[in-house]
């Protein structure tokens, strides 16, 4: 039957293997990124399963009622996946992951599934960014006594931490290379935004959106808006984001990439998300402007209205009553 300590050892082994594969540049990039992602995701899942097993071994099984003596040793069982593990931790063990950790683990799982089932076109920097977010939250859990670790396991965790720092150095080096270009574009009027995929202030928005560090590009304005909105309202699901309450269609570019711009996301400080001198909150009201993550358009909240035909929010530039999708 599942043993919590064995699962911890296995989790750390997969995480360590992930780091070794990522740093092995003798392997072609596509395979290196694929296998390091798959192994890291496996390690993260095992960390969560180890915590479930600490509560009770049956929580690791998808269908405990079908378990027969010896199934564990034979491998004749189905274990829970990441989503179910998170659900059982919350509902059965009263262990609640932070919204940021859940988002990071889900993004890693989605990337793993893409790698397993078809060719992935994401840049090395973007894959690195997704991996790093998951690394940080997994290590943070273990540092906070999410699981009991032996001295040997803590030394293993420290080795894993050193591997993670080399990923950070890679992204930092990429940022240094493009920093002059970022400054030049910002001086020309582009907004500089913290990229939600690589966590560097290198996403330029003005005429389309492009991250100069990880290469996340112009086809993903809704993804940028969604990630940014989640940082402001981390409890929000994708369905809620794409509903009328959170995302508006921009009449300037036609993309559903406008979100309200909470003050917490606006600053000239590099740690925050939106750096735009054009986004200013009315000091006499509690109303926030809306920002388009595709073209950089800014709308007064009073110009964010529901389409009279479909009900979708959109940012109007004049007195339009129909959103861009319904006005064709």
- Distance (Å, rounded) from C-alpha 203 to C-alpha 315? 22
Q: How many other β-carbons are positioned within 10 Å of the β-carbon of residue 287?
A: 12
Helix, strand and coil percent figures for the chain, each rounded to 5: 50, 10, 40
Q: What is the DSSP letter of 246?
A: T
pLDDT, position 139: 84
pLDDT per residue as tens digits for the range 100-110: 788 888 889 98
Note whether 272 and 141 are within 8 A (CB).
no
Question: What is the Cα gyration radius of the chain?
Answer: 22
- Distance (Å, rounded) from C-alpha 138 to C-alpha 4? 16
The DSSP annotation for 172-238 comes to HHHHHHHHHHHHHHHHTT-EEEE-TTT-SEEEEEESEEEETTT---TT-HHHHHHHHHHHHSTT--H
Which residue reads 């929000």 in tokens? 236
Note whether 3 and 56 are within 8 A (CB).
no
Give the alpha-carbon dihedral of 223, 122, 37, 294, to 10 degrees. -20
- Distance (Å, rounded) from C-alpha 42 to C-alpha 108? 10
Binned average pLDDT, 10 residues per bin, the chain of 328 residues: 76 91 87 92 91 80 58 57 83 82 86 85 82 84 83 86 77 81 81 74 75 69 69 57 70 84 46 53 59 82 87 86 84
pLDDT, position 268: 35
* Angstrom distances, CA of residue 266 to CA of 193, 214, 279, 321: 9, 22, 8, 30
Note whether 92 and 59 are within 8 A (CB).
yes
pLDDT, position 63: 57
Q: Which residues contact 181 (CB under 8 A, 6 or more apart)?
A: 212
Residues in the chain: 328
pLDDT, position 14: 93
pLDDT, position 218: 57
pLDDT, position 64: 53
Q: How many other β-carbons are positioned within 10 Å of the β-carbon of residue 123?
A: 20
- Distance (Å, rounded) from C-alpha 6 to C-alpha 184? 53
Q: How many other β-carbons are positioned within 10 Å of the β-carbon of residue 297?
A: 21
Note whether 49 and 138 are within 8 A (CB).
no
The candidate with the shortest Cα–Cα distance to 5, out of 156, 182, 228, 170, is: 156
């Amino acid at each position: 039957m599942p043993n919590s300590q064995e699962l911890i050892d296995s989790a750390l082994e997969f995480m360590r293997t992930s780091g070794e594969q990522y740093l092995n540049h003798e392997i072609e990039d596509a395979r290196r990124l694929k296998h390091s992602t798959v192994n890291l995701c496996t390690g993260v899942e095992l960390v969560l399963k180890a915590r479930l097993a600490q509560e009770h071994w049956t929580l690791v099984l998808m269908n405990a009622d079908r378990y027969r003596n010896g199934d564990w040793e034979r491998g004749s069982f189905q274990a829970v996946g990441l989503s179910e593990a998170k659900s059982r931790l919350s509902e059965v063990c009263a262990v609640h992951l932070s919204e940021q950790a859940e988002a990071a683990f889900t993004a890693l799982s989605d990337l793993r599934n893409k790698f397993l089932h078809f060719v992935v076109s994401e840049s090395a920097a973007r894959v690195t960014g997704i991996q790093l977010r998951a690394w940080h939250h997994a290590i943070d859990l273990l540092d906070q006594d999410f699981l009991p670790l032996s001295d040997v396991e803590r030394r293993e965790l420290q080795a894993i931490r050193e591997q993670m720092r080399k990923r950070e150095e890679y992204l930092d080096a990429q940022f240094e290379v493009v920093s002059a270009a970022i400054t030049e574009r910002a001086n020309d009027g582009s907004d500089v935004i913290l990229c939600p995929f690589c966590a560097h202030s290198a996403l330029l928005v003005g005429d389309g959106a492009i991250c100069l560090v990880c290469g996340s590009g112009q086809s993903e304005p809704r993804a940028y808006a969604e990630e940014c909105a989640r940082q402001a309202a981390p409890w929000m699901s994708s369905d809620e984001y794409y509903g009328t309450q959170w995302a508006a269609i921009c009449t300037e570019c036609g993309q559903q990439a406008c979100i309200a711009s909470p003050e917490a996301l606006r600053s000239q400080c590099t740690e925050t998300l939106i750096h735009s001198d054009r986004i200013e909150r009315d000091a006499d009201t509690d109303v926030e402007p809306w920002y388009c993550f595709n073209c950089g358009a800014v709308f007064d909240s009073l110009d964010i209205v529901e389409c009279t035909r479909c009900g979708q929010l959109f940012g109007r530039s004049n007195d339009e009553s129909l959103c861009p999708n319904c006005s064709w």
